[in-house]
Structure 1
Amino acid sequence: MHAWQAVERGHEVVQLEREPEARGASVRNFGLVWVGGRAAGAELDVALRARELWERIGERVPALGFRANGSLTVLRTPAEVAVAEETAARADASERGLKLLDPAEVRALNPAVRGDLLAALWCERDGAVEPRTAQPALRAALEASGRYTWLPGREVRSVSAGRVRDDRGDEHRADVVVLCTGAWLGGVVRELTGGVPVRRVRLQMMQTEPLGEPLTTSVADGDSLRYYPAYRGAALDALNSGQPQPDVAREHAMQLLVVQRLDGGLTIGDTHAYDEPFPFDTEDAPYDHLAAVAEQVLGRPLPRVARRWAGVYAQCRDTSRVVHREQVEPGVWLVTGPGGRGMTCSPAIASDTADEVGL
């Protein structure tokens, strides 16, 4: 997205990528453009601007698979409904596109949600893209500009004002250097900064074979209310004290999110682990829990799980900060730590970087 912003503003861009293709959190995510749960203030502002940018870029790059499908947070207990009622009554609810729906309204909007529920919180501002294909689609559009060069399989070894040297010994010169390092916080990042106020977070997710019917919205369960800052308040405090999570969900800091891919499969997750060193393997118990909750919400068996994966992303330790953006040398900027909001907010984060740098 930083490359997109620079090319859009008339500049030439050379992009270096450590891997032959991106393999980190940029592809190991839901592809959610998730506005409803964002914290009021700066985070919501960034998410709303990003949502508009995703739609505009999606119109120009259809292969992104952008769709304004919205989301339903399914509520199955009175305590969960109370949190949604409190959230929907706030002054910024209309800005987020929030509305509380009864079961009949839920099923009219998304007939695939057949499980037992009391209500659902609808967010019409949410959207989705295809994370596995978004980057190749953007690169193809950038290359068509004639002002973009993609150099994969190159790790940056040194950076100084106007110069970048990679592990092949090649030197690249530029007026501005932007380091978008994701969860890679060692090496040249540590050399330039001595360490950044960012932590790493690990997740587990999975994807099924095609569902066989449209899931017309993204879907979340009531545990997502515990995770996103927009829902904080007296009703959430009551939910946390009076309705504890199942042990496996609590131990793995879990929520259910479900997004249908363009091929009909479902991306389902996720867990959160914060203490390193992270395990090198995945655990089955969280997957079993997610599958069971998804089946309860949908009121039907899930298709066969085709893929499972773990991923790691970088999150600012001060979680009220949307991103860590720092000028580490004259003309050299480090941008990292968006956390789980990275896919949602990336277009606006890049636009803000471009403004601050003066592109």
Structure 2
Amino acid sequence: MRIVIVGGGVLGTMHAWQAIERGHEVVHLERERESRGASVRNFGLVWVSGRAAGAELDVALRSRQLWEQLGDRVPGIGFRGNGSLTLCRTPAEVAVAEAAIRAADATTRDFAVLQPDEARKLNPALRGDFLAALWCGRDGVVEPRVALPELRATLAASGRYSWFPGREVRALDDRAVRDDHGQTHAGDQVVLATGAWFGGLVAELAPDLPVRRVRLQMAQTEPLGEELTTSVADADSFRYYPAFDTTQLARVQPQPPIAADRAMQLLMVQRLDGGLTIGDTHAYDEPFDFDVVESPYDHLTEVAGALLGRPLPRIVRRWAGVYAQCLDPTAVLYRRQVGAGAWLVTGPGGRGMTCSPAIAEDSAKELNW
């Protein structure tokens, strides 16, 4: 078959990968000259630890397998199965971690609660004060700024992949799309993976889209000067992932005002150049601010420095990003037929980088690729 894919982010690119793997031809369009959305404005985390039990966890675990396979075939994506440590600094936070390791799927997630000396054996850079750490051995990371170009280069080597950047799709008609250059791209099937772009053609095809947009702020530092061997989170991250029961934590330990106002958690990942990506905030109500505000960075810098036991390196990049999230919290994504041979796939939320390989694999099965 000839598959036309609209959207050059990680979800669209993974659909292209699945189609090429199955022997099909792919025409891939992206409205920017290069992917600039949430697929590159993120941590690159393959984050199994916080996923909801059931379908969401199953998708995350399958994606973790697929990311590792992709890392073997395309080393340039920078996949590392580094695991993660969520550091607990209060008894209430430790209680959440201890409840997590008693859950039925704790072994599947490779959960363990470690004492500080055990955590520092895994990650010697953590010289700050904390009471315990929740280890998740299934978590991993890729390099979001380079992963998509590296994957596309491998797809192009098949001889069955055509990449058209700087093309905004304006119309869908009978298994074909027309772009803003006036060119028509016809195929046997069309997949629209347009991320957080809900306007234009998407608004025409799905005006009742049950998906919202979420805005984040993140930053990157200069090189740390030593290896951060795992991904790192603070225990505020428990509050934003469905795997954890934080009922008691919310009652006895409310977040500081700035963290609560911005729905903040600390996530910290080391890039291959030694710098640290830190974040993040969450904003759910549009219109979003156009400012990149400093007070959240002050909070994240303070927390990260406390866990490292040293000042955070100087921040050299700051940015915001927007992703698409299903309104139904139990839905991993939103997939809907919007025309003859055409499907819209969107809404994985903050799971996009983690779950996109398995989401695309499921699409391939559903669409009989």
Equivalent of 2:41 in 28, 37, 49 = 28
CA distance, structure 1, for counterparts of residue 222 and residue 174 of structure 2? 48
Cross-structure match for 2:66: 53
| Structure 2 stretches lacking a partner, 5+ long | 1-13
Give percent identity, aligned residues only.
Answer: 70
Cα offset for 1:195?
Answer: 2.7
Q: Do residues 106 (structure 1) and 116 (structure 2) align?
A: no
Equivalent of 1:121 in 128, 134, 137 = 134
| Structure 1 stretches lacking a partner, 5+ long | none
Q: Do residues 226 (structure 1) and 239 (structure 2) align?
A: yes
CA distance, structure 2, for counterparts of residue 227 and residue 247 of structure 1? 16
Cross-structure match for 1:11: 24
**Residue type matched to 2:141 in 1?**
A
- Does the CA-based 8 Å contact 1:189-1:195 persist in structure 2? no
CA distance, structure 2, for counterparts of residue 79 and residue 193 of structure 1? 44
CA distance, structure 1, for counterparts of residue 190 and residue 325 of structure 2? 22
Secondary structure of 1:19's aligned partner:
coil
Cα offset for 1:160?
Answer: 2.1
Cross-structure match for 1:350: 360
CA distance, structure 1, for counterparts of residue 174 and residue 151 of structure 2? 27
TM-score with structure 2 setting the length = 0.96
Cross-structure match for 2:208: 195
CA distance, structure 2, for counterparts of residue 161 and residue 333 of structure 1? 12
In the comparison of the two structures, how many residue pairs are matched? 356
Q: Could you report, residue by residue, the CA deviation over 1:278-320 in whole angstroms, capped at 9, with x for unpaired residues? A: 0111110000000000001111111110000001000000121
Q: Do residues 81 (structure 1) and 91 (structure 2) align?
A: no
CA distance, structure 2, for counterparts of residue 97 and residue 331 of structure 1? 41
Secondary structure of 2:235's aligned partner:
coil
Cα offset for 1:238?
Answer: 1.0
CA distance, structure 2, for counterparts of residue 31 and residue 106 of structure 1? 22
Equivalent of 1:270 in 241, 264, 280 = 280
CA distance, structure 1, for counterparts of residue 283 and residue 356 of structure 2? 23
Secondary structure of 1:248's aligned partner:
helix
**Residue type matched to 1:218 in 2?**
S
Q: Do residues 91 (structure 1) and 101 (structure 2) align?
A: no
**Residue type matched to 1:297 in 2?**
L
Cross-structure match for 2:9: none
Secondary structure of 1:231's aligned partner:
coil
CA distance, structure 2, for counterparts of residue 200 and residue 162 of structure 1? 28
TM-score with structure 1 setting the length = 0.99
CA distance, structure 2, for counterparts of residue 162 and residue 140 of structure 1? 26
Secondary structure of 1:120's aligned partner:
strand
Equivalent of 1:340 in 344, 350, 354 = 350
Equivalent of 2:228 in 198, 215, 219 = 215
**Residue type matched to 1:205 in 2?**
M
CA distance, structure 2, for counterparts of residue 152 and residue 195 of structure 1? 28
Equivalent of 1:284 in 285, 294, 299 = 294
Secondary structure of 1:262's aligned partner:
coil
Cross-structure match for 1:294: 304
**Residue type matched to 2:347 in 1?**
G
Cα offset for 1:161?
Answer: 2.5
CA distance, structure 1, for counterparts of residue 167 and residue 118 of structure 2? 51
**Residue type matched to 2:77 in 1?**
L
**Residue type matched to 2:75 in 1?**
P
CA distance, structure 2, for counterparts of residue 105 and residue 156 of structure 1? 53
CA distance, structure 1, for counterparts of residue 275 and residue 155 of structure 2? 29
Cross-structure match for 1:303: 313
Q: Could you report, residue by residue, the CA deviation over 1:107-131 in whole angstroms, capped at 9, with x for unpaired residues? A: 0000001110110000000000000
Secondary structure of 1:66's aligned partner:
coil
Secondary structure of 1:220's aligned partner:
strand
Secondary structure of 2:223's aligned partner:
coil
Q: Do residues 72 (structure 1) and 85 (structure 2) align?
A: yes
**Residue type matched to 2:76 in 1?**
A
Equivalent of 1:151 in 164, 168, 180 = 164
Q: Do residues 327 (structure 1) and 340 (structure 2) align?
A: no
Cα offset for 1:342?
Answer: 0.3
**Residue type matched to 1:50 in 2?**
S
CA distance, structure 2, for counterparts of residue 168 and residue 150 of structure 1? 15
**Residue type matched to 1:61 in 2?**
V
Cross-structure match for 2:11: none
